[in-house]
Every structure is written in C-alpha cells, then in structure tokens.
Amino acid sequence: MEGRRRSDAWSEWKRLNEGKIAHPYGYEEKFVDTVLRQIPGLDPCDVIPQYRFVCDKGINRRIDFMIVNKHKGYSLPVELDGAEKGEARNKWSDFLERQNAIVRSFGTILRYSNLKMLNDPDFIAREIEEIMSVQAAHKRASDSRRGIIEIVGSTSKSSGSGLETAPLQSATLTVQSVKPPLSVSLPFSAHVFGFALILVASVVYFVWQGGTRVLTPDMASAVSGATLTSMNRVASAISAEPAVSTSQFDPIQAFQAKTHIGEIRAVCGHVAEIKEISAGLFINFDRPYPQETFSIVIWREKMSDVGRLDIWRGRHLCVSGLIRTYRNKPRIEVARREQLIQ
C-alpha cells in the first residue's frame, strides 16, 4: 500500500511538472523514473525541477533538479548534461561561470551525463542518497547543538542562586574505546553551575569524537538534584545513536560484521576495492561493490584528516568504530587516521 501511494505521488508530480521535465528524447523524465523515484526517503515534494536562482552577477539561472527540504537538511543541486555542453566552445565560459555560481550558492553540485543515466542509474541513485544522508546527519547534529544551548540556558534561569551553595568535590570521566579504557581525573574547585557547563562541553566533545561515554557515580553524587535532572536532559538531547555494546573488543572478520550491528568493534579483512565518489570514499572488503561483505566510509570533509588511503588496496586492514548498517550492508564511518590499523 505504501509503495502504491509513493508511486501515485511521483506520477502526480510528473503531471504537475510535465512542462519542466520535457525533453526531445525524454531524458529528464527517464531520470525521474530510473533515479529519483528509486531513492528511499526522497519524496516528490523534495524535488524542484528547473529550480531558479540568481547568481552573484544578478543573472537568473536554473538547475535541472534541486533536492531541497530545510526540515530534512537537504540542499543538493543535480544537473543532467548532454554531450553538447562539452562541445559548445562558445558557451564554455558561461557554463563554467554557472557551475561556480551553483557551488558558491549551495556548496556542492552533482553532474551526470545522459549516457551515465541510461547505463548506470543505480550508481547515480546511490550517490545522491549518500549525500542526502550526509546533509541530514549535519542537520541533526546542528539541531542537537542548538538543543544543548537551550537546555543550558534554561538550567541557568531555573536553578537560580541554589547552584551557588552546592560544593563540588571531584569527578572522573571514563572513555571506553578499542584501546584499554582511559580514566582522567578532573578536580574542580568551581561551584555546580560552572561544573555543569564544563560537563556539557565534555560530553559533547566525546560524542563528536565517537567514543562511548560513562559518567561515574562520583560525578553524579557531586551534583544537586536539579542540576542532575538538567544534565540528563542534555544527555538525551545529544544521544543520536542507540545504546552500543562495548563488552568485547576482540577483532572480528569482515564477513562477521553483519552480526555485530550496533557494537563498537575492530573489523579486519582484505581490501578488495577503494572507490571514490563525490560524497567521499568507500573501502570495500573481500569483494568489490555490490558484493562487498563490509565497508569503510570516509566522508569528503574527513578525507584530509584520514590521509592517504590508496596504499591499502589489496592489503589486510583493520578498522575500529561503531558498526552501522546501510541497505543491509555493515560499515564503519571513519573520521580519524587512528581508527585504521594495519
């Protein structure tokens, strides 16, 4: 039933935008049918054909398909190009100016040839979906940070002078990772409100670093009931991941990763393929895509932090991190070089 409703929604979208996707050879309509409507999570209302924008020179320009939804975090221009765009030398300068204007306005752009769309629509759909996923994740992270700021502000207003009378003893923050647990004792002489702010900043830092956070009873006992309640609200606001199992860190083989979704583990195997797309880089284990047993994903903005990766092709590699699943395939997202182990 859901599939039927989705199909009807796209059919209605095509009817309403018939004039905007018209092409002598039907390329735009075929792009909608074979690519856009095949992407999970992409609704017809998220796509605007022949999207108009004004460049910094004041020229009205258009984008073939604009995927945009501020509530979901989408802002992705997609262009479908014919061979004539590369052959029209007299229009080449304007083509480049338009390309740069799109990048300045929206930060990115995806371009595909008609031939690529006809021969490999699944690749295009996957690449678009990957970037949509990145943009949605950025939106959730931004919303979480905004929620933390609001919670801290409300804590300051509601707690009042009561915070000034609660002494602070000591606190211990424990970070569990693939390496042996690291314990750092942080003595403070500040009062509870200052401690609460520092604690929030510390929790946010370790969330962004991808580690598992554990607050000890010593830390909880040092905080008044009102402050502890606010801290719990902060923890709930920033917890974007389900609870993960960290009881074991013995390395597992790539083909075993599918049975350890949601766990922080070290995964090892043979690198069969290293594939770069506009969104980032994929390291596929055991077999090339789409028969890979496990993948490492490094998003474009993290590639400079991770460093050179082509050296791993054909070699044995281990990676540590949270095992996620995407389209029923396990993978770990890598943000730091230290997650890779030879």
Any idea where the domains of the chain sit in the sequence?
Answer: 2-119, 139-238, 252-341
Residue 6: is it exposed, middle or buried by C-beta count within 10 angstroms (0-12/13-18/19+)? middle
Residue 151: per-residue pLDDT: 65
Can you read off the two tokens belonging to residue 143? 């919303």
What tokens appear for 58 in the block? 């004041």
Residue numbers in the chain where pLDDT is lower than 50: 161-192, 204, 206-248
Token pair in block for residue 140: 């959730």
Closest by CA position to 315, among listed 276, 285, 277: 285
Count Cβ atoms within 10 A of the Cβ of residue 122 and give its class: 0-12 exposed, 13-18 middle, 19 or more buried. exposed
CATH for 252-341, among 2.40.110.10, 3.90.1150.10, 2.40.50.140, 3.30.70.270?
2.40.50.140
- pLDDT (0 to 100) of residue 152: 63
Q: From the CB of residue 118, how many other CB atoms can be counted at a distance below 10 Å?
A: 12
User: How far, in Å, CA of 161 to CA of 108, rounded?
Assistant: 49
Cis peptide before 187 (omega within 30 of 0): no
Q: What are phi and psi of 270, to 5 degrees?
A: -90, 130
